[in-house]
Amino acid sequence: MNQQSAVKVLFASAEAAPLAKIGGLGDVAGALPPALRQNSAGKLDIRLFLPFHAEIKRKEPQLGYLGAFSVPYRAGTFSVELYVTMVQGVRTYLLDSDVFNHHSPVYHGDPGLDGRKYASFSVALLEASRFLDWRFDILHANDWHTALAVYALKTLYKNDPFFKETRSILTIHNLPYNGYGSESAMTELGFPAGTDPDLPEWALLTPLPLGISAADRIVSVSPNYTREIQTRDFGCGLHEYLQKNNQKLSGILNGIDTKVWDPARDPLIPYPFDSTAISGKALNKAALQRELNLEENPEIPLLTVVSRFDYQKGIGLIFDAIPENVRKSWQMVLLGTGAPDLEARAADLIREYPHKIVSLLKYDEVMAHKLYAAGDIFIMPSLYEPCGLSQMIAMRYGNIPVARATGGLQDSIINYHADPDNATGFLFTEKTYEGLVSALNSAILVYRDKPTWAKLMQNAMRADFSWNASAQNYLELYRDLINQRGN
Ligand code: ADP
Ligand code: GLC
């Protein structure tokens, strides 16, 4: 960066791998800050701020205790204890308070409880920086959980000299999750209702739109999703706002942590492999077939799913597609948790199609690595997908995605039907199980053509999904904000 002293960035997130990960936000917050540090040639002082979730406490990270401070709110103060740990070279602050933490899961799933947890965390992280006397230049918030920190800078802390020079970026990872249900917590904390005349009425006490309106820059996690959220179909009621304010909106495609997701060095898979020594992949497949009591046969394509079971992911399309396809030769392993109705359907499949379909209804990091490594085809029929990391991970492990052409899936997968020479997967557009069935059939047909499939695997495994390019884009944004501040 073009500055004498390092630019200071406060990176705020609800989750960050490996300390706490529920989905892709955890991957991003775990990998982007170290990538930004590495790509900045020492010109960036980026620090991560997280709630000290019970899940992190159970992992017993090496900690330093920094002390306690008070956070003012409308009716008094609440107390927060501050701890520090290092994660991949990034100074990581863990904030603990009985208002938003003790024994609580990363997400309660209850809008009121989550609203209280993250509204208070958003204010507390600003006070933590004051307690540390660390005047950061840029607040980089992520999703609705920390969007209120951005809004707080423009409201509660508007005239506070400590934050006078602070600028803000808000990355949108998932627009529909907007923090609705936080109203009473916000009121309790003293947040005023929004006054931006461009925001719809329902958004005036809703964290994500308020953060969007207050942020100096907004980033969405893929160029295609950035276009999509400016349309009625994907904009969740904010498309007009985003169209009107699109000069502060940009799309930066996520990367993946290529050290964690590296088939050549992955300690969680039995047989390492890479694009130059691919034979280990077949050994991983055979090992998984044995482990899960599937027929051990290299010729049967192994279909894999690793996903939150959520409406977004189009999991229902997979279930609908099965009866039509069941007589064909394939095996399928699903790993995921989430919506009870989807879990129930997945459980039924094991009973109906034993030895052909295995449903593992849990969150299991080790099994996820094994599935990426063992699978031939990775199914991701998302109805919408801001970026998607699973398909990138799958490609790196030579597990060819069959995915819907939406959001970041379209930005990261080269469709076999559009460009067979450079293809890395199969894309389909229809939001129907017929669309999925037809894409799966094409993939299985190509799977039988060994040289063509080998080429697909080579292309996919060699694609660059590292954070480097995206980190450069974020650094440029930081630089712009700092430069504008001088004007
Ligand atoms: P999202 O953030 O919408 O869930 P992404 O594709 O961006 O989707 O990221 C999902 C991340 O969560 C990937 O790292 C994936 O491997 C992981 N994941 C999802 N479900 C599971 C599971 N049941 N067990 C282990 N890891 C999972
Ligand atoms: C969200 C999105 C996913 C994205 C992830 C990380 O969870 O659903 O598409 O990859 O955030 O940005």
* Of the candidates 139, 374, 385, the residue with the CA atom closest to the CA atom of residue 253: 385
Closest CA to ligand 2's atom 1? 173
Q: How far is CA 457 from the centre of its chain?
A: 24
Cβ 389 under 6 angstroms from ligand 1: yes
Rounded to the nearest whole angstrom, what is the distance from the C-alpha of residue 316 to the centroid of ligand 1?
A: 17
Cβ 31 under 6 angstroms from ligand 1: no
Rounded to the nearest whole angstrom, what is the distance from the C-alpha of residue 435 to the centroid of ligand 2?
A: 23
Cβ 408 under 6 angstroms from ligand 1: no
Cα–Cα distance, 217 to 213 (Å, whole number): 9
Rounded to the nearest whole angstrom, what is the distance from the C-alpha of residue 154 to the centroid of ligand 1?
A: 33
Rounded to the nearest whole angstrom, what is the distance from the C-alpha of residue 487 to the centroid of ligand 1?
A: 42
Flag whether the pTM goes above 0.75: yes
Cβ 280 under 6 angstroms from ligand 2: no
Cα–Cα distance, 187 to 487 (Å, whole number): 35
- Give yes or no for a cis peptide into 105 (omega within 30° of 0): no
In the chain the domains, ranked by start, together with CATH numbers, are: 7-255+468-486 (3.40.50.2000), 279-462 (3.40.50.2000)
Cα–Cα distance, 55 to 16 (Å, whole number): 12
* Of the candidates 230, 251, 258, the residue with the CA atom closest to the CA atom of residue 242: 230
Number of Cα atoms under 13 Å in the Cβ half of residue 207: 37
Rounded to the nearest whole angstrom, what is the distance from the C-alpha of residue 4 to the centroid of ligand 1?
A: 39
Write out the chain's pLDDT in tens, 487 residues.
444 589 999 999 999 999 999 999 999 999 999 999 999 998 999 999 999 999 999 999 999 999 999 999 998 999 999 999 999 999 999 999 999 876 789 999 999 999 999 999 999 999 999 999 999 999 999 999 999 999 999 999 999 999 999 999 999 999 999 999 999 999 999 999 999 999 999 999 999 999 999 999 999 999 999 999 999 999 999 999 999 999 999 999 999 999 999 999 999 999 999 999 999 999 999 999 999 999 999 999 999 999 999 999 999 999 999 877 767 899 999 999 999 999 999 999 888 888 899 999 999 999 999 999 999 999 999 999 999 999 999 999 999 999 999 999 999 999 999 999 999 999 999 999 999 999 999 999 999 999 999 999 999 999 999 999 999 999 999 999 999 886 6
Cβ 336 under 6 angstroms from ligand 1: yes
Contact by Cβ (8 Å): 335, 305: yes
* Of the candidates 266, 290, 294, the residue with the CA atom closest to the CA atom of residue 280: 266
Closest CA to ligand 2's atom 10? 388
Contact by Cβ (8 Å): 222, 387: yes
Contact by Cβ (8 Å): 291, 306: no
Cα–Cα distance, 33 to 15 (Å, whole number): 13
